[in-house]
Structure 1
Amino acid sequence: MSVVGIGGVFFRADNPEALQAWYDRHLGVVVDFAAPWVPQPGPTLFMPFKRDADHFPLDRQWMINFRVRELDKLISALRGAGIEVTTHAEWDTPETGKFARIYDPEGNPIELWEPPVD
């Protein structure tokens, strides 16, 4: 037996309805059991980090990474909506792609990743 994919990402929220609307409006991640979001095929990493790793805030148990297309356009749209976006040139490489970080309204870290073009 083997796992064939991620069936969902579940987490607690103070205001689940507002958070669902934020993910839909700004990232296009539709939360609807009747018509679930179907991600496009591509690489998915499942990677535990050491508890004291600084890859994301130490006070957070998890960070989600979304694969995206046209990261620069998404960054522009997010900033236009008043969402703070962090980028660092050293995060981006031809081998790994381009990265940006944001936080949802409840402070959960989100990494945006545009994989390199094959």
Structure 2
Amino acid sequence: MKAWYREHLGVGGGCGTDDKGESNEWVWFTKGGPMVFEPFKADSDYFAADKQAMINLRVSELDALLDKLRKAGIEVITKSEWDAMPEIGRFARVHDPEGNPIELWEPANAS
């Protein structure tokens, strides 16, 4: 799983954006920006009922990332209603090999 996340999404140990070079096999440092913690109700239909949580990754150049994921054979889900508030940004969803949902969020100011 670690290799899948590193290869396709550029996250995980050794994928640092830190200028100090402190990222290593176990940790990575990210660029500053908003983080979201949003628990959902148990009866939410926002993601599969058999999943407890969803990873939300802040990205830039969403279209290029989606193209790369599609070329790797990864299903990409987009919906116009997810992008209904352009001041927040754009969204897409993929699933890792174990079926965990991953929301990709390109904030409005990321381009």
Query: TM range, normalised to the smaller chain?
Result: 0.7 to 0.9
Superposed CA offset, 1:47-75 (max 9, x none): 11100111111110010000000000000
C-alpha displacement at 1:30, in angstroms?
2.8
Runs ≥4 residues deviating over 6 A: none
Tell me which residue corresponds to 1:99. 91
What is the TM-score when the length of structure 2 is the normalising length? Answer: 0.84
Matched letter for residue 58 of structure 1: A
Is 1:112 aligned to residue 109 of structure 2?
no
Give the whole-Å Cα distance in 1 for the aligned partners of 2:65 and 2:5.
13
> In percent, how many aligned pairs have the same letter?
58
Is 1:72 aligned to residue 63 of structure 2?
yes
Aligned residues: 100
Alignment root-mean-square deviation, CA: 1.6
Matched letter for residue 97 of structure 2: P
Give the gaps of 5 or more residues in structure 2. Answer: 15-22
Give the gaps of 5 or more residues in structure 1. Answer: 1-18
